Amino acid sequence: MAKGDSKPKHETVMDVTAERIARTYAQGFLGAAGENDKTAVEDLEAVATEVFAKYPDFAEAMRSAFVDDEVRVGMLDRVLGSRVDPVVVTLLKVMADHRRMNLVGEVARQARKLYETSNNRAPVLIRLAHAVDDALIAEIEQTIRQQTGLEPITSVEIDPELVGGLEVRVGDTVFDGSVRTAFAKAHKMIVNQTVAAIESQPERFTLAE
């Protein structure tokens, strides 16, 4: 193996290890949250995005080996104690004690995935070359229900340069509309809508001279 190939492989191993550790924390976190898991997950996500991501000095203090454990715990209590679910604060204290505060964002992501799975839901990203009507989105969602048995939690993204016109991501699985998939009917509807748009407003699709 070439010397230059070793670094990406090492980073991949590190990423997988971090993901596994984060998943373990997330499982314990959801177990402790019990019936209050929905609120707990939302609070943890808010801490990751609204506190750690936006206030790097605070995040660095939480990760620093030069900050005394008692000081770190006190900071967590003062900043978050009365603002989020207590199980979130407990999780962060445990992670701080084990020097794992660099994984807060990944733990939040894993907690969300586990929560959705346990509730028979799946995050779905529908990428389209252009905007379509709600009936088509509903058609895709129904196909997902039939194919996976999961309830889709859908977000839509428009990318005019998307090859094939349609891409559907269910969790970590990607279905490409440019090939034959369970979404072939939806892909045909997209093509038909594109043709209709060209026929009704041809000037939008004509290059300026």
Q: How far apart are CA 149 and CA 186, in angstroms?
A: 18
Q: Which of 71, 94, 117 is the last residue of a domain?
A: 117
Q: In the chain, how many domains are there?
A: 2
Together in a domain, 94 and 17: yes
Question: Does residue 125 share a domain with residue 161?
Answer: yes
* Predicted local confidence at residue 148, as pLDDT: 80
Q: What is the pLDDT of residues 88-107, one digit of tens each?
A: 999 999 999 888 999 999 99
Residues 113 and 124 in one domain: no
Q: What is the pLDDT of residues 60-79, one digit of tens each?
A: 989 888 888 889 889 999 99
Whole-model pTM: value is 0.63
Residue type, 127: R
The pLDDT value recorded for residue 85 is 94
Q: Who's near 100: CB < 8 A, 6+ residues apart? A: 21, 25
pLDDT at residue 17, as a whole number: 87
Question: Which helix (H) or strand (E) element contains residue 38?
Answer: helix 37-46
**Token pair for 160:** 């005019």
Range of the structural domain that residue 111 is part of: 3-117
pLDDT in tens, 142-181: 888 887 888 888 999 998 887 767 788 887 788 765 444 5
Residue 104 near residue 98, CB atoms below 8 Å: no
Domain check: are 44 and 84 in the same one? yes
